[in-house]
C-alpha cells in the first residue's frame, strides 16, 4: 500500500493516461471526476482501470432512483468505487450502497469538504452525523478534509476502524500528507501537486515516502 490516491483532474485523454502510467508505482487508485469525464467521456474509466482501480468522484446527490441509475452507469463503465454525498439523506445513500453491493463495488460518502467554506454547512455535528449514517449504510468509507486533520481524527472516532477514510486537500490546498495520515486517514488524495508538477513521478514518490512510516 502506498497511501496515495491520484486526483486526475486533467481534461484530455492523452495527459490522463500518460500521467497515470508515470505515477502508477506510487499510487493505489485514480480518482476521476467531472473535469476529466466531461472532457473525454466516461470510456476513460475502463482505460484507466487497466492502470489502477478507479474511483468515480461524481458526488452523487439525488433521489434514490436517480442515484441508482448514476451508480449503475459508473460501475458498468469499470469504476471500482463511487463518491456520493450524504446530505441527501439515508434513503438516497442506502440505494447507492445497495447498487454498489449488487456490483461488488464500493461507496465513499463525503462527510466534510476540504475548502475554506467546507465547514460552513458541514459543521462539526453535521459531519459526524453524516459519518455515522455512512457507517450504518454499510458504505466502504468516508471523505474527510486533509486541511483539517483534527476533523479527520474526530470522524475516525465516529466510524471506528472498520471503515476507510480518504482525504483530499494535501498540497495545493495546504494540507500535509503526514499530518492527515497521522490523524487517521487511510489514503491522501492528491491532484495538482502531482499532475501539475514538472515531474509527477518524483512528486508522487515523495508523498509516498513522506507517509510510509505512518501507514
The verdict on whether 201 is a catalytic residue reads no
**Residue 3 contacts ligand BMP per CB under 6 A:** no
Check residue 22 and report its DSSP letter: H
**Residue 145 contacts ligand BMP per CB under 6 A:** yes
Distance CA 69, CA 47 (A): 22
Q: How far is the CB of 145 from ligand BMP (least distance, A)?
A: 6
Cβ proximity to ligand BMP: between 192 and 206 the closer is: 192
Given 1, 31, 59, 201, the catalytic residue: 59
Distance CA 46, CA 215 (A): 29
Applying the rule CB under 6 A, the residues between 8 and 47 that interact with ligand BMP are 9, 33
Among 53, 86, 149, 168, indicate the residue that binds ligand BMP (CB under 6 A): 168
Cβ-Cβ contacts under 8 Å for 26 (sequence gap 6 or more): 2, 4, 201, 204, 205, 207, 208
| Binding site residues, ligand BMP, CB under 6 A | 7, 9, 33, 57, 113-114, 118, 143, 145, 168-169, 171-173, 189-193
Task: Indicate which residues carry an active-site annotation.
Answer: 59
Amino acid at each position: 500500500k502506498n497511501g496515495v490516491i491520484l486526483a486526475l483532474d486533467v481534461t484530455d485523454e492523452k495527459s490522463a493516461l500518460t500521467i497515470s502510467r508515470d505515477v502508477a508505482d506510487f499510487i493505489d487508485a485514480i480518482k476521476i471526476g467531472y473535469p476529466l469525464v466531461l472532457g473525454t467521456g466516461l470510456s476513460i474509466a475502463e482505460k484507466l482501470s487497466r492502470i489502477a482501480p478507479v474511483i468515480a468522484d461524481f458526488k452523487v446527490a439525488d433521489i434514490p432512483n436517480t442515484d441508482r441509475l448514476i451508480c449503475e452507469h459508473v460501475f458498468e463503465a469499470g469504476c471500482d468505487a463511487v463518491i456520493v454525498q450524504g446530505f441527501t439523506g439515508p434513503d438516497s445513500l442506502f440505494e447507492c450502497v445497495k447498487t454498489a453491493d449488487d456490483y461488488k463495488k464500493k461507496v465513499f460518502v463525503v462527510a466534510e469538504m476540504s475548502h475554506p467554506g467546507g465547514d460552513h454547512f458541514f459543521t462539526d455535528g453535521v459531519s459526524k452525523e453524516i459519518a455515522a449514517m455512512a457507517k450504518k449504510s454499510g458504505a466502504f468509507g468516508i471523505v474527510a478534509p486533509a486541511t483539517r486533520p483534527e476533523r479527520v481524527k474526530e470522524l475516525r472516532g465516529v466510524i471506528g476502524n472498520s471503515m476507510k477514510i480518504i482525504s483530499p486537500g494535501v498540497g495545493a490546498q495546504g494540507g500535509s500528507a503526514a499530518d492527515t495520515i497521522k490523524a487517521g486517514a487511510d489514503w491522501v488524495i492528491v491532484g495538482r501537486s502531482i499532475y501539475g508538477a514538472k515531474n509527477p513521478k518524483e512528486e508522487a514518490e515523495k508523498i509516498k515516502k513522506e507517509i510510509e512510516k505512518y501507514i
